[in-house]
A and B are shown apart, each in its own frame.
Chain A
Amino acid sequence: MGRVVLVTGVGRDFGGRFASRIAKDPVVDRVIGVDVVPSRADLGDVHFVRADIRHPVIGKVIADDKVDTVVHLGVIATTSSAGRRASMREVSVVGSMQLLAACQQAASVERLIVKSSARVYGSSPSDPAKFSEDMSPRRIPSSGLGKASVEVEGYVRGFARRRPDVRVTLLRFANLIGPQVDTMMARYLELPIVPTVLGFDPRLQFCHDEDALDALHHSSLADVPGSFNVAGDHVLTLAQAVRRLGRPHIGVPPLALGTLGSLIPQLRQADLSAEQILFLTYGRGLDTTAMRQNLGFEPKFTTPEAFGDFAARSRPGAMHPERVAELERQLATLIAKGRIYGRR
């Protein structure tokens, strides 16, 4: 008998893509997708159940269908369409708690895969260059989605203690990026002029969304318990990333950046919360040794490659690389001309 997989958060683009993708895998018999809103995309063979994971009905779904693999993607809502910030956290934390409670009751559940975020490491000037999974944050995220992620991971660890027979895999993703990604970070990078924190150029690491789907798919079938960072190799600094998109950037003092973020409507879409400003100040790097050696997963895209893929679909900015190269060619021609005049 094949696997029965329950996927949460299929209403969003990423969750929907994952569900229809794993449904195509021959070892999987049946995929049940759960969310409060139906997916806009066609989910194919996925059996969609419209339910709130905060509601006990989820336990009934797991028991009735004898679900053996739960893939929890509805942990954090990073798209701004998911509603207000406070309600997002509420959905994340309470929803995860209820889902884990339901899983604990269900004897059929054998493995749990949770999509977490590298936000759990926070961002501070005392951070090591790269976080490995066993390191604790120098400053625990005290607000926003980072705090929610920390709380959810706490519940997941509690669940793993109470149900030692369930193999729990926790994936901490770097910021997702790619042609189809529409996160707040992507919106921030695509602003016509990108406000950055004055005097800082943080290191960013990205994970291509295709790689993220691959990693989740791999983990759902591989049975490797543990926590793993998932990210593309190498880093880009914020200035570098913004320049590769051809957008001008201006440094703004951090306090003013927060105010700006709440005043200007366009910036409200781009998440300039206190937590995000810390991230945009100090950045973060991830050690992905365990991802390769223990989880056995190899991403296809490095950070610069993933970002290049995103930049290719992005609307070219005012200073896009081709325009600058053209300017350079024109200047070179001008100089060549000057040389002829000079010799004359």
Chain B
Amino acid sequence: MGDGDGQDTLRAEQSADEIADSVVDAAREVFGDDLWERRLAELLAFLRRRITGAYEVDDFGFDVEFTERFLLNALRPLAEKWFRIDVRGAENIPSVGGALVVSNHSGTVPVDGLMTALVVHDHADRFLRMLGADLVFRLPFIGELARKGGATLASTEDAERLLSADELVGVWPEGYKGIGKPFSERYRLQRFGRGGFVSAALRTGVPIVPCSVVGAEEIFPLVGNITSLARLLRVPYIPVTPFFPWLGVLGMVPLPSKWLIEFGKPLRTDSYPAGSADDAMLVRNVTDQVRETIQQTLHSLLLYREGVFS
């Protein structure tokens, strides 16, 4: 009996050694010869934290660890290899304090928002807290990822709460009108809602950073809309592109257009007198000013870009 036990132990130890060897080999392969040990320990600790829930989320459900280690890493190849994003004016993003990034919206699927968030993180070292439509939070998986990625509902309450907490907030005031506009209307800015974002900025006194994205218009050229199905599914539109739904999943691959993202000079809002947020005339003027800036930047970026794919 004792002998058998001894042999079993020996065998178990041998197989444990084999496993250890293969783990180490794999880690060397992935992390390189020098760093593998520390990286592997980090990975283990990360996995343990995720499995035991020992991570933190903020009041909006933003999970920094998940966003940095998973979401942004997943998006980075898309931004760098596929869309080859050129970033200009990243120094215009304030390094501290609340600020509102206002951007044009396009591309049928809100990829432009995700790319802007990645660019802001990589170039300005800040997290962009995106404001999304309630549809985003109604959808399974997408809603969960959105909250973990730092997004929250586009509402005055949430916008002001984030801005007062010195966060960098991203809004796309064109909403569905921008993202779901036909390809023929590309780079033509739609109406900027009711200017709720300007009121939020005025009330919290944060600067507005205009952001112009060129390239997202071409990823899924929208040529039609299955209105009846959209109404049935309670979504704003069901896109028809030259490739979708004809090619099925393959049609969901975005076209590799060349992207340019430019952040403009911040527009200060703290010089206006108190109560300006309720001044409809002023809110409209500021809204138009931001819209004009973005439209003009779009035009000059389009001139600068040599071709859609180069």
Q: Which residues of chain B (9-43) have a CB below 8 Å from chain A? A: 16-17, 19-21, 23-25, 27-28, 37, 40-41
Q: Does A45 contact B (CB under 8 A)?
A: no
- Give B127 Cβ to nearest chain A Cβ, in Å: 15
Bound form: Cα–Cα A236–B27 in Å: 33
Q: Interface 1/0s, chain B 180-223, versus A by CB < 8 A? A: 00000000000000000000000000000000000000000000
Annotate A122-138 by CB proximity to B: 1 below 8 A, 0 otherwise: 00011111101001000
Assess the A199–B143 pair: CB atoms within 8 A. yes
Name the residue on B nearest A327 (C-beta).
B48
**Interface window among B54-62, B81-89, B171-179, B299-307:** B54-62
B105-113, B114-122, B144-152, B262-270 - the one binding chain A = B144-152
B141 and A125 contacting across the interface, CB-CB below 8 Å: no
Tell me which of A126, A128, A200, A236 contacts B144 (CB under 8 A): A200
Q: Find out whether the CB atom of A130 lies under 8 angstroms from the CB atom of B59.
A: yes
Report Cα–Cα, A203/B17, bound state, in Å. 43
Which of under 10, 10 to 19, 20 to 34, or 35 or more describes the interface residues of B? 35 or more
Stretch at the interface among A11-19, A100-108, A168-176, A240-248: A240-248
Q: Is the CB of A234 within 8 A of B59?
A: yes
Binary contact track B138-160/A, C-beta < 8 Å → 1, others 0: 11110110011000110101100
Question: Is B53 at the interface (CB under 8 A from chain A)?
Answer: yes
Are the CB atoms of A332 and B44 closer together than 8 Å?
yes
User: Contact: B138 with A203, CB < 8 Å?
Assistant: no
Q: Is B76 interfacial (CB-CB < 8 Å)?
A: no
Residues of A within 8 A of B153 (CB): 125-129
Task: Answer yes or no: B271 CB below 8 A from chain A CBs.
Answer: no
Question: Can you list, as one digit per residue, whether each of A261-296 has a CB less than 8 Å from chain B (1) or not (0)?
Answer: 000000000000000000000110100000000000
Contact A201 B137 (CB under 8 A): no
* A244–B52 CA distance with the chains assembled, in angstroms: 5
A205 to chain B, nearest CB (A): 9
Is B292 interfacial (CB-CB < 8 Å)?
no
Name the one of B20, B63, B134 contacting A338, with C-beta atoms under 8 angstroms: B20
Taking CB atoms, residues of chain B closer than 8 Å to A130 are 59, 157, 161
Does B51 make an interface contact (CB < 8 A)?
yes
* Residue pair A244, B54 in contact (C-beta under 8 Å): yes
A236 to B25, CA, bound (A): 38
Residues in A with CB closer than 8 Å to B59 are: 129-130, 203, 234-235, 285
Q: Are B57 and A240 in contact (CB under 8 A)?
A: yes
CB-defined contacts of A332 to chain B, threshold 8 Å: 41, 44
Q: Is A325 close to B, CB under 8 A?
A: yes
The yes or no answer to B230 lying at the interface (CB within 8 A) is: no
Question: Which listed residue (A128, A282, A321, A335) contacts B20, Cβ 8 A?
Answer: A335
Say whether B45 faces chain A, with CB atoms less than 8 Å apart.
yes
B52 proximity list for chain A (CB < 8 A): 243-244, 246, 319-321, 324-325
Complexed CA–CA distance, A234 and B61 (Å):
10
A-B pairs with beta carbons under 8 A, tally: 126
Over the window 165-202 of chain A, the binary record of Cβ atoms lying under 8 Å from chain B Cβ atoms (1 yes, 0 no) is 00000000000000000000000000000000111110
Residues of A near B147 (CB, < 8 A) are: 201, 203
Let me know if B57 and A242 touch, CB within 8 A: no
Expressed in whole angstroms, the Cα–Cα distance for A285 and B144 within the complex equals 15
The verdict on A313 contacting chain B, using a C-beta distance below 8 Å, is no
* Pairwise interchain contact B24-A240, C-beta atoms closer than 8 A: no
Contact (Cβ within 8 A) B134 A203: no
Q: Cβ of A62 < 8 Å from any Cβ of B?
A: no
Q: Is the CB of A203 within 8 A of B61?
A: yes
Partner of A324, one of B19, B41, B51, B63: B51
On whether the beta carbons of A128 and B155 are closer than 8 Å, the reply is: yes
Docked CA distance A128–B159 (Å): 10
A239-262 Cβ-contact flags toward B at 8 Å (1 or 0): 111111010000000000000000
Q: Are A341 and B17 in contact (CB under 8 A)?
A: yes
Instruction: Collect the chain A residues with CB atoms within 8 Å of residue B158's CB.
Output: 128-129
Q: Is B61 touching A200 in the complex (CB atoms < 8 A)?
A: no
* Cross-chain contact A334 with B53 (CB below 8 angstroms): no
Contact partner, B53, options A197, A198, A200, A241, Cβ 8 Å: A241
Near A by CB (< 8 A), chain B positions 232-288 give none
Q: Which residues from A are CB-within-8-Å of B61?
A: 129, 201, 203, 235, 237, 283
- Whether A201 pairs with B144 at a CB distance below 8 angstroms is yes
In the complex, residue of chain B having the shortest beta-carbon distance to the beta carbon of A304: B56
Q: Which residues of B contact A197 (CB under 8 A)?
A: 140
Choose from A125, A234, A243, A324 the contact partner of B138 (Cβ within 8 Å). Answer: A125
Nearest CB in chain B: distance from A323 CB, A:
9
Verify B140–A198 contact, CB threshold 8 A: yes
* Cβ–Cβ < 8 Å partners of B144 in chain A: 199-201
Q: Closest Cβ of chain A: how far from B114's Cβ, in Å? A: 18
Complex CA gap A109/B51 in Å reads 53
Cβ-defined contact, B45 with A240, below 8 A: no
Sampled A-B contacts (19; CB under 8 Å): A128-B157, A129-B59, A198-B140, A200-B143, A201-B61, A201-B147, A203-B61, A203-B147, A234-B59, A235-B59, A239-B53, A242-B53, A285-B60, A319-B51, A324-B51, A328-B48, A335-B41, A339-B37, A341-B24
Counting from the closest, the 8 A-B pairs by CB-CB distance are: A199-B140, A243-B53, A338-B20, A338-B24, A321-B52, A125-B137, A125-B138, A244-B53
11 other A-B residue contacts (CB within 8 Å) besides A243-B51, A321-B54: A125-B137, A129-B61, A199-B143, A203-B57, A237-B57, A244-B53, A320-B52, A324-B51, A324-B52, A335-B37, A341-B17
Taking Cβ atoms with an 8 Å cutoff, the residues of B that contact A are: 16-17, 19-21, 23-25, 27-28, 37, 40-41, 44-45, 47-48, 50-55, 57-61, 63, 134-135, 137-141, 143-144, 147-148, 152-153, 155, 157-158, 161
Q: A residues near B, CB below 8 A?
A: 125-130, 132, 135, 197-201, 203, 234-237, 239-244, 246, 282-283, 285, 319-321, 324-325, 327-328, 331-332, 334-335, 337-339, 341-342
